[in-house]
Amino acid sequence: MIDIKKINYSIDGTQILDNLSFKFEKGKFYGILGPNGSGKTTFLDVLSGYKNAPDSEIYIENKELKEYSPLKLAKKIAIVPQKFDIVFPFSVSDILEMGRYPYKKKFFSLQKSDYEVIDRVIKEIGLEEFLDKEITALSGGEEQRVIFGKALIQTTPILFLDESTSNLDPYYSHTLLSLVRKRVEEEQTMVIGVFHDFNLATLYCDEILLLEKGRIVTSGKTQEVLNSKALEEVFKIGWEKYKTEKNTFVFPKLGDD
């Protein structure tokens, strides 16, 4: 569904993404792990067309990324970014409605079917109490839930999450990730999410890509990558393991403990 033949991306002569290639399939939740500065956000930015990488060859559903108009791409990929730069005090309702703009006909208002999608997501992630508030007046976690909601309202087959639960409490982290996991299984959508919390990756991801200095060091089933030697080498720390019936969770092993 996303076939990366190659991505090279550099800024001022520094190679940020170095000859990456990978095939992402639909019906799977992928996690991207890697140290700070390893290129995770840049990778999603290039895949979403936000950053232009001329020396790249990327196919989204068999069509080259370069051939997509921004509007067509917005019907394929929604993104919950790491940072949101909302300075204008839009209301939460306005922001959520923006999720339907790719489907809006010129000079027409949103349709009943658009509002049905919006209302469903509002209920699913509990945004009712914020609708009339200005986005700039919300807490960090509340704002993140709204931006997440907008991406879900976009109803795309591909969703990118860039540390998109970093401001959320455990209840909302799991509510939102369970919701997208359900869509992956029931609607065969695809999710690619950047995580620093490996336990969330353990619980929700089918496969992991481990990035270091703009390269994919290893990739594979979540449990295999999280139990690999590469994890220690890339993060330069040992990992304590905690096994449950279904999963092995990993925690940083610090000092002499």
Ligand X SMILES: Nc1ncnc2c1ncn2[C@@H]1O[C@H](COP(=O)(O)OP(=O)(O)OP(=O)(O)O)[C@@H](O)[C@H]1O
* Type of residue at 254: L
Beta strands in 52-195 (DSSP E): 56-60, 63-64, 77-80, 158-162, 190-194
Minimum Å gap between C-beta 45 and ligand X is: 7
Q: How many CA atoms lie within 13 A of 172 on its CB side?
A: 18
State yes or no: residue 48 binds ligand X (CB under 6 A): no
Which residue in the set 29, 42, 151, 155 belongs to the binding site for ligand X (CB under 6 A)? 42
State yes or no: residue 16 binds ligand X (CB under 6 A): yes
State yes or no: residue 37 binds ligand X (CB under 6 A): yes
Judged by CB under 6 A, the number of residues near ligand X is 10
Which residue in the set 39, 99, 149, 193 belongs to the binding site for ligand X (CB under 6 A)? 39
Which residue in the set 7, 24, 40, 231 belongs to the binding site for ligand X (CB under 6 A)? 40
3-state secondary structure of 184: helix
Name which of 46 and 95 has its Cβ closer to ligand X: 46
Minimum Å gap between C-beta 8 and ligand X is: 13
Name which of 36 and 139 has its Cβ closer to ligand X: 36
Nearest C-alpha neighbor of 45 from the set 11, 12, 95:
11
Measured N-to-C along each axis, helices 140-153 and 112-124 cross at an angle, to the nearest 10 degrees, of: 140
> For the purposes of burial, counting CB atoms within 10 Å of the CB of 153, is it exposed (0-12), middle (13-18) or buried (19 or more)?
buried
Name which of 16 and 168 has its Cβ closer to ligand X: 16
Give the strand order in the sheet containing 77-80. 77-80, 158-162, 190-194, 29-33, 207-212, 215-221
State yes or no: residue 217 binds ligand X (CB under 6 A): no
Q: x/- binding map, residues 118-157, to ligand X, per CB under 6 A?
A: ----------------------------------------
Name which of 17 and 135 has its Cβ closer to ligand X: 17
Look at the chain and count its residues. 257
Minimum Å gap between C-beta 56 and ligand X is: 15
State yes or no: residue 36 binds ligand X (CB under 6 A): yes
The answer to whether 159 and 180 have CB atoms below 8 angstroms apart is yes
Residues forming the site for ligand X (CB under 6 A): 11, 16, 34, 36-42
